[in-house]
Amino acid sequence: MKHIRLKTISLRHHPELNEKWVQEIIAADPTILGLGDLALIDKERTQPSGGRLDLLFKGVDSLIRYETELQLGSTDETHIIRTIEYWDIERRRYPQYEHVGVLIAENVTARFLNVIGLFNGFIPIVALQMTAIDTGNGIGLHFTKVVDALRLGLVDDDEETLEPADRAYWESRATPKTVKIADEILELCKVFDPSLELKYNKPYIGFTKGGIAFNFATTSPKKSALNLSIKLPRSDDVDAKLEQSGLDLLEYSRGGSYRLKLEPGDLLKHQKLLEELLKIAYENRG
């Protein structure tokens, strides 16, 4: 088999091609990045800081969003800061998703790798080194992952590794009366999806859909009440409804969930509101 020597070119110094051209190529077919099946959400997304996020993608079969910054040439401090800043802005605006910052450059420098090493485990960042190849018939782009994200998992990601439990475990840990509140929550949810069932794990009682973990909400029965977590982005509208309801609100979780303390009888009093919020969380999760 004959070997063909590939001819690489510098996009930064190319007389015709530029960052806009690269952006359009990736937006048209984001699978070339090698990050899985992605769908484009936005280009040149305006940020509160005044900057613009080059590309925003979402996983077709996941709850992951990718805040993507492009750079021709070598990585520099400005683009590293932008990548982290835009990732942080988007994750705060849309906490119901998992977010990964992506920096694409023609040369990912050792200095960048050292900086990212300091954030490892705290900020999920992917670095892709982009190579432009002149095939004679056109320019091809090849992407090599040089830094992979150490992602913080969603509740469902850990589902298979969680130590299983059963109803008896929760009734002894809490009380039959408070575990029954989880049954009542399930009945509310069955209004919009009759296939949902409870899944007993030792850290919490979650939900399954078709036998697969589907945790748009989780419950944790206590001795005198049950804590309900509903995965919803925080909003003024939901805040107002919950405050007016008189429900016992716990602190909004960093994972992006409203947390309520429910006592026996609370579901009957607040059925309409709770069903509404659970349905929205269910639809967002789907």
Q: What pLDDT does 154 receive?
A: 47
Q: CA–CA separation, 180 vs 185, rounded Å?
A: 9
Write down the residue that tokens 């095939």 correspond to.
135
What is the greatest pairwise CA distance in the chain?
Answer: 77
User: Distance (Å, rounded) from C-alpha 177 to C-alpha 199?
Assistant: 18
Distance CA 141, CA 135 (A): 10
Instruction: Give the pair of three-digit tokens for residue 18.
Output: 């530029």
Residue ranges of domains in the chain, CATH in brackets: 7-147 (3.40.1350.10), 155-285 (3.90.1150.200)
Residue 178 has φ and ψ, to the nearest 5°, of: -80, -30
When pLDDT is averaged across residues 108-121 and rounded to a whole number, the result is: 74
Quick one: CA torsion of 180, 181, 186, 192, rounded to 10 degrees? 140
The residue type of 285 is: R
Q: What is the mean pLDDT of residues 263-280?
A: 94
The per-residue pLDDT for 277 is 96
- Cβ(101)–Cβ(107) below 8 Å: no
Among 83-92, 150-159, 180-189, the range of highest mean pLDDT: 180-189
pLDDT at 66 over 80: yes
Determine the Cα angle at 167 with ends 163 and 172, to 5°. 95
CB burial of residue 280 (10 Å; 0-12, 13-18, 19+): middle
Residues in the chain: 286
Position 63 confidence tier, pLDDT thresholds 50, 70, 90: confident
pLDDT tens for each residue of 209-250:
988 889 999 999 999 999 999 999 888 889 899 999 999 998
